[in-house]
A and B are shown apart, each in its own frame.
Chain A
Amino acid sequence: MATPQNRLHKWLIGGPPLAYLVVFFAIPVLIMVLASLRNSGDFGGLAPLFSEESGTLDLTTENYGRFFSDLIYTELFLKSFAYAAITTLVCLVIAYPLAMLIARSAKKHRDLLVLLVILPFWSNFLIRVYAWMIILGPQSVFVSALNRVLGTIGIEPVTLLYTPFAVIVGLVYVHLPFMVLPLYANLEKHDPALLDAAQDLGANAWRRFWRVTFPLSLPGVYAGAALVFIPALGIFAIPDILGGTEGIMIGNVIKQQFLDTRDWPFGSVLSMVLTVMAVALAGLAAWVARQSRT
């Protein structure tokens, strides 16, 4: 098949999009990798790549050194990890019964029920976060009702907006469909005969779930966890809008480094660490999924 004409066609068709993605994706990312090794400029941004005094490339690993020596950043990553982990867990708890119900409902209803899960996901991301500003805000009917209830049992009124709690709620809300879909895709394939067999052998509903359904659904759980955890880790808009000063995550600090402090090299270091972790986790998830399949 590899005739010269064929090769010409290949580059004529594949070349332009490839070139576009190289210029506007691969090169910017490589520049950022390089930026993480450069000195900060006198007025923010980057220092010149070639040092005028020595005439050599002016590169440094100092930025990485700063990341690993200052525990604030390690703490920040751990905190973001914790937020993403709690989000993943809550998503799993909410999504599992829903996915199970969809998988066990009549075939003709399944597509509609799945569509109903995807639909809110297509509305603007900011709108979905903003909605929680209304629900958790100080004027909210929901919060005042909650506080009235708490008041009757003698608990101080609570503030929900601009807290880590609000961040988790926002993260769960935005990522929930990513947990439901892989779970559903997995649960749908289960053979109902297995549950019948377990029942005939005397297993109650609880036992049937933990010994049959759940172990079989683990690939779906892993896929969902990866699809929720990884994006949740790098998000900055949700903590920015719902989190206040307490609830910031790694994404907020990256944004800060680029737009406020204008320390690009260090911002690049943080982005690099985040990306390496995300890619490593994705790789791990793929590996675990492959292991559990065999």
Chain B
Amino acid sequence: MIRRSRGLWAAAIFAYVFLYAPLVIVVAYSFNDSRLNAEWVGFTFAWYGKLFHNEKMLQAAWNSLLIGVTASVVSTVFGTMAGYAMYRFKMRLLPLLILAPIAIPEILMGVSLLIFFVLLNISLGMISIILSHIAFCIGFVAIVVRSRLAGMDESLTEAARDLGATPWMAFRLVTLPLIMPGVVAGALMAFTLSIDDFVITFFTAGVGSTTLPLQIYTMVKIAVTPEVNAVSTLLMMLTLALILIASKLAPGSLRAQ
């Protein structure tokens, strides 16, 4: 089946180049021995070295990690509960609240949480960021877990119940191990979303709670430097690793996005 393949190939290759060239450029310049992102001067690791002596950057990385771990753990617990509840019971409000944060403009969630925290006198900082990240991650975990549950053989749980297991035992010993890959994939997804989030963090962050994306934003607003390329490259590697693990654990879960 070869139809107009040459033109199609050319257009498709253009699209792939368009998708990848910018990222390749970011990575390449992170090894360039020049302050300017222009001519290639020579190979260096200097920008990575500088990165590890940049106090602000290290603090931001630590903040991102702390927020990412906390938010993904909590949202995985809540998201799994939500996914299970939506699968097992007839829930009216829950599916709406799961989908709405994903469907509405991100900026709306950011500014509404800003108003919310300020009115409640919750100071903007790590706590407010974590609370917000949990709120937008729950939905993604719930969707992944629910799709995993939908692919599960219902008779296994029923068999456990027939053999005298309490609902909790049946869940703990049969259902949970079966959906575990989905749960872990959901957790990794939540961690990635939290580490990467810019918009909602931007509105809910305060002094001293700068995350990596916020730090990158601040640097980019001042000037384009190879240090940004270096931190971007590291962040890309981390995300890539997490995605590969997630896709190994739950094939197809990446498409839930």
Contact surface of A with B, Cβ cutoff 8 Å = 6, 9-10, 13-14, 16-18, 20-22, 24-29, 31-32, 35, 45-46, 94-95, 97-98, 100-102, 104, 115-128, 130-135, 137, 139-141, 173, 176-177, 180-181, 192, 195, 205, 230-231, 233-237, 241, 251, 254-255, 258-259, 264, 267-268, 271, 274-275, 278-279, 282
Contacts and interface: CB of A to CB of B under 8 A. Distances in A.
B213 interface: yes
Interface in B211-227: 212-213, 216-217, 220-221, 224
Given A16-B81, A18-B82, A139-B38, A98 B112 contact: no
A135 B12 contact: no
B83 to A, nearest CB: 9
Contact of B132 (A16, A22, A24, A131): A24
19 contacts: A17-B79, A18-B93, A20-B134, A24-B116, A31-B116, A95-B15, A98-B11, A126-B198, A126-B217, A134-B25, A134-B26, A134-B29, A139-B36, A176-B18, A230-B105, A235-B107, A271-B107, A271-B112, A274-B108
A24 B113 contact: yes
A234 B108 contact: yes
A21 B23 CA distance: 35
Contacts of B135: 20-21, 24-25
A32 B115 contact: yes
Contacts of B23: 120, 123, 127-128, 131
A259 B199 CA distance: 13
Contact of B134 (A22, A24, A192): A24
Interface stretch (B49-57, B150-158, B228-236): B228-236
Contact of B235 (A45, A123, A195): A123
A35 B97 contact: no
B220 A251 contact: no
Given A134-B37, A231-B106, A237-B198, 20 more contacts: A9-B88, A10-B88, A17-B82, A17-B142, A25-B135, A26-B97, A28-B116, A31-B115, A46-B115, A94-B14, A120-B20, A122-B243, A176-B18, A205-B3, A236-B199, A241-B217, A251-B107, A264-B115, A271-B105, A274-B105
Contacts of B212: 124
A197 to B, nearest CB: 14
B97 A25 contact: yes
B105 A234 contact: yes
A98 B108 contact: no
Contacts of A117: 19
